[in-house]
Amino acid sequence: MIVAIAARDPVRAHAYAKKHNIPNVHTSYQALLNDPTIDAIYNPLPNALHCEWTIKALQAGKHVLLEKPSVSNAAEARSFFHNPLLLDNGGSLVVLDAVHIRFHPAWQRFLTLINPANIAEAISSIWMPPIFARDDIRFQYKLAGGCLMDLGSYAIQRRYSNSPPSLRLRTYGMFVC
């Protein structure tokens, strides 16, 4: 159940809350994290804010459903994946990657139909039609935008989940502007 929302723009936050019957609108992300009635948050912020606000959520004792990518660069990866809040919490806090396909019934069915040991090579091709404006956050370097950060994670996850070590995977991704 979604009980609260926060956004950079309070007008948009209130409109979204009204449309989706969300009872509480917080004035800031920190105010949302400080709400004792919230157990978990969904972090769909721009890529460059994922690491920072996920760590803040963990500090506030919240579970996190985190959009991809979890980090924007190597320094963030070291900070995030070696953070005591993730390593030493005794399993009390969960950070889950919000990649929906892992849990989609069609994907689960597909996985039952193949035997990865019988696959010598797989090609993953991702093509993004020109549906985003050139100034969309997906293309803004300062917000950790780019094809790999947005679409590349799908192919990388496919490579490292349910794949035998000998599997060669070629991945192609393209944004069309």
Interstrand relation of 95-97 and 63-66 (parallel, antiparallel or unpaired): parallel
Tokens of 141: 């370097």
Determine the Cα–Cα distance for residues 173 and 164; give it in Å rounded to an integer. 22
Q: Which residues pair with 97 in a beta bridge?
A: 66
Helix (H, G, I), strand (E, B) or coil at 12: helix
Q: Which residues pair with 5 in a beta bridge?
A: 25
Assess whether 68 carries a catalytic annotation.
yes
Helix (H, G, I), strand (E, B) or coil at 104: coil
Best CA proximity match to 60, nearest among 28, 83, 80, 32: 32
Instruction: Determine which one of 18, 56, 62, 68 is catalytic.
Output: 68
Q: Which positions are annotated as active-site residues?
A: 68
